[in-house]
A and B are shown apart, each in its own frame.
Chain A
């Protein structure tokens, strides 16, 4: 009997030890996998990271699953893109998660957009202009230079919450920024043929990518952000593409294929399909390979092949 008690006690103690070991990690929840990858690079083994989105979703339509509420309930910090891009699911989930540590304006609510200068900040707010984002176009993760700013904001946010690991975060951030700088220099070289190329995308989410690599976002298949097209809008868009010689249509992979294909076919344009987040295609395993995939796919679309 005593022996059995002892064995049970040992097992319980072992479990307890493993549990306390696991608990020592900082529980980080990110809204998108891009942030999860950055956090992995900055926090390394200090962090236990979970991403709500898998990468294949439209960031404006991530399903609000109750299981996300339990994940957020246990989070020590929340890393989000910011600029209200997560408006469709994050406020509701935070309400359900009941975790004061990660509520808006709490230290654990880390907005990774704070060091990014947003583009397309509306000068007038009106629903007639579509689903506007008052603080500017929020699709910053598609620009690797903005990605660097996001990583810096993330490291600073983590440091504010865990100053005892400041040195580690700083060191890892420096190494990660170095990796990004090297990749950015390479992308800039490789993407030279993209300069000046006009394109049409489904949603106005390629603006940061276009700005970085000198492309020109010339229109969208949607009438306005978040508003599905009408036949009249499509006809006008096709006419403009023919008139201005726009030969590239970008379909973000979470938007319907058929309409983008039809527009490309009717205007003689090349169709390229791009993920909008890490994990959007199997090749986009991490942030570097995600941007890499987008640059290469865009180049293929411009150069043919």
Chain B
């Protein structure tokens, strides 16, 4: 009993003293119980301020007096009389004051008038992405990869919206993204709805022209279906802890812009949607070294064309960055890797390419995996050499793997214009439509016009 009482007393005393200590520092500046010396000093400061203010007021009063003194009445109108020295002084003073005020106001006025006419319009950007390509066994071509129009603006105090429209030789005109994102939800929550790039992995969320190399890695094209475009809704949560951790949950019609398992326009049962979960974190190894790590899992309970079997798609992404703080624009290194795993029922030998052919009946539960890994150095503000390695198994049983090796060099003319030269050696399973080996060369030219915001997603 005695020991309990002692414990209580000690605890209470510690509690009280900790609290008092914690508040002490604040109390010094908040309460009027400061030492007399401090008060005297404060009083002196206030006196000095008062004196300065009085001086200023007196000066201003004198200036006003001078300005408001009525000018000497004009004598006789017929012959102009030269202004008196006092009037000239007054005019000169007025002129000086006018010039001084204008000098101060002019820059602000010109800045304000420049932005006023378009204040409520969304920010607009246009990206032009084109290349010249050589593909062994196919030939040469100028590829108009895309012209992409980006719009973004606040909707109201609670949300912002953005849209990305793309026109390209391959896909014609399409809405790549058009989404509403909340900005003011409590509990660190963000909700996104509409059409957008789902939070799957890292480079799936990049538009083609934002990729660090010319073409999207084979594994992302094959497993995700290109960009992770999805029509649906996504909820994201930033954990309220010091460590950066985000959790995302999503529900979509389907995942992947070129995923043709599902038609976006046909209504479906709840079991035919794709459900996604993702966790991502960031580890700072030092001021200059850091690692981003993420894990994503996408589950579709029933895929009709896969004999209504389920599909799992999982991925792990790791990005290591070396960014020296004092030379961030001139030096650096990025190593990025994603490993993906896909499990679903697929027809042996794949779906027939001929639409008139009978549907396949021989399905097999197939596991496939693939990865890409790239290393990119920043040698100066302009030169970024890199190397990309691709490996992807086929999703359909009975088809071989694909490997690709791509050294590349990016040359940034400015932040808004870029040239990129890439060589790719493809090593794949030979079929009647494709050779086992192919050399490819690309010279890409990309430019950004108009508004440009550095988004967190594209870091």
Chain A residues in the interface with B (C-beta under 8 A)? 2-3, 6-7, 9-11, 13-14, 17-18, 20-22, 24-25, 44-46, 54, 56-58, 60-67, 69-70, 73-74, 87-89, 91-93, 95-98, 100, 103, 117-119, 121, 123, 125, 127, 131, 134-136, 165, 168, 171, 174-175, 178, 226-228, 253-254, 256
Structural contact, B111 and A127, CB atoms closer than 8 A: no
Structural contact, A14 and B243, CB atoms closer than 8 A: no
With A56-B325, A70-B242: A10-B10 Cβ-Cβ less than 8 Å = yes
Residue B93, interface by CB 8 Å: no
Structural contact, A14 and B14, CB atoms closer than 8 A: yes
> What are 21 residue pairs bridging A and B, where the CB atoms are less than 8 Å apart in the complex?
A7-B7, A10-B7, A24-B22, A46-B26, A54-B287, A56-B326, A57-B328, A62-B328, A63-B325, A66-B244, A67-B282, A69-B244, A69-B456, A70-B238, A91-B454, A92-B453, A119-B107, A121-B111, A127-B449, A165-B30, A254-B329
Q: Chain A residues with Cβ under 8 A from B11's Cβ? A: 6-7, 9-11, 13-14
Q: Chain A residues with Cβ under 8 A from B242's Cβ? A: 70
State the CA gap A56–B330 with chains docked (Å): 14
State the CA gap A168–B30 with chains docked (Å): 7
Category for how many chain B residues contact A: 35 or more
20 new A-B contacts at CB < 8 Å, known A46-B29, A64-B459: A10-B11, A14-B11, A17-B18, A24-B23, A24-B26, A45-B28, A56-B325, A58-B328, A61-B328, A63-B325, A64-B454, A65-B290, A70-B241, A70-B244, A88-B454, A93-B456, A95-B455, A95-B456, A121-B107, A256-B330
Structural contact, A227 and B111, CB atoms closer than 8 A: no
State the CA gap A268–B381 with chains docked (Å): 27
Cβ-closest chain B residue relative to A13? B15
Cβ-closest chain A residue relative to B329? A61
State the CA gap A122–B28 with chains docked (Å): 47
Structural contact, A3 and B326, CB atoms closer than 8 A: no
With A24-B23, A228-B381: A57-B282 Cβ-Cβ less than 8 Å = no
Cβ-closest chain B residue relative to A64? B459
Q: Report the stretch among B184-192, B343-351, B385-393, B397-405 that lies at the interface.
A: B184-192
Structural contact, B114 and A125, CB atoms closer than 8 A: yes
Chain B residues in the interface with A (C-beta under 8 A)? 3-4, 7-8, 10-12, 14-15, 18-19, 21-23, 25-26, 28-30, 42, 45-46, 48-49, 104, 107-108, 110-111, 114-115, 183-185, 188-190, 238, 240-244, 282, 284, 287, 290, 292, 321, 323, 325-330, 380-382, 414-416, 449, 453-456, 459
State the CA gap A88–B323 with chains docked (Å): 15
Structural contact, A20 and B22, CB atoms closer than 8 A: yes
State the CA gap A219–B14 with chains docked (Å): 63
Structural contact, A254 and B107, CB atoms closer than 8 A: no
Structural contact, B22 and A66, CB atoms closer than 8 A: no
Q: What is the distance, in angstroms, from A220's C-beta to the closest C-beta of chain B?
A: 14
State the CA gap A62–B215 with chains docked (Å): 28
User: Which of A63, A64, A100, A254 is packed against the most chain B CB atoms within 10 Å?
Assistant: A63
Structural contact, A178 and B15, CB atoms closer than 8 A: no
Q: Chain B residues with Cβ under 8 A from A226's Cβ? A: 414-415
User: Which of A54, A67, A165 is packed against the most chain B CB atoms within 10 Å?
Assistant: A67
Q: Chain B residues with Cβ under 8 A from A227's Cβ? A: 414
Q: Chain B residues with Cβ under 8 A from A3's Cβ? A: 3-4, 7
Structural contact, B8 and A98, CB atoms closer than 8 A: no
Q: What is the distance, in angstroms, from A18's C-beta to the closest C-beta of chain B?
A: 5
State the CA gap A61–B324 with chains docked (Å): 11
Cβ-closest chain B residue relative to A275? B326
State the CA gap A123–B321 with chains docked (Å): 39
* Candidates A56, A168, A228; contact of B29 at CB < 8 Å: A168
Q: Chain A residues with Cβ under 8 A from B282's Cβ? A: 65-67
State the CA gap A67–B48 with chains docked (Å): 45
State the CA gap A46–B240 with chains docked (Å): 23
State the CA gap A87–B284 with chains docked (Å): 23
State the CA gap A284–B28 with chains docked (Å): 29
